[in-house]
Structure 1
């Protein structure tokens, strides 16, 4: 079980930094790099879903404050935004 969580963490960390545009790779990758070790299985599941979100939707959420349509994704995006010192725009 613990090794499964470790594998999911490593996979999510790699995917966060290798998913699309350089800007989103950097922003999500840096966030994941600094926070992944403190994430539990539920947190990893939300991160995995966030990573699969298309860049244009992520950019609108991150920079303009648009909702991703799910409370847990919006909460994680808020954490990403605060991590990078970006203002909350909602």
Structure 2
């Protein structure tokens, strides 16, 4: 799958699989492997900015322990939350 990705998406996939917190590695890595090739360039940009946030913040937002800040409450965040709930 990653062989068919452009360099930008390959870097993003690598970053998603090596985030620092195991829980985030698993969720974001699986999401990236499954959905990254379907995202538009704009969505990839939002995804890149999202994963620049701290591991604890991301975990708390995805798990619902904290509200997602408006700047990150976008379609990609909703896709990740829906992906998490598909399991």
TM-score (norm 2): 0.82
Q: Which residue does the alignment assign to 2:82?
A: 82
RMSD between aligned alpha carbons? 1.7
Q: Which runs of 4+ in 1 moved over 6 A?
A: none
The answer for unaligned runs of 5 or more in structure 2 is none
Gaps of 5+ in 1: none
Cα distance in 1, alignment partners of residues 17 and 70 from structure 2: 23
Give the corresponding residue for 1:59: 59
Once the two structures are superposed, the pairs formed by residues 12-27 of structure 1 within 5 Å of their partners are 12-27=12-27
Is 2:63 the partner of 1:69? no
Displacement after TM superposition at 1:79 (Å): 1.1
Distance in 1, matches of 2:55 and 2:15, equals 13
Query: Does the aligned pair in 2 maintain the 1:67–1:74 contact within 8 Å?
Result: yes
Separation of aligned partners in 1, 2:30 and 2:69: 20
Aligned counterparts, 1:27-66, within 5 A: 27-64=27-64, 66=67
Q: How far apart in 2 are the matches of 1:7 and 1:27?
A: 21
Work out the number of aligned pairs and report it. Answer: 80
Partner Cα distance (1:60, 1:68) in 2: 11
Q: TM-score, normalised by structure 1?
A: 0.79
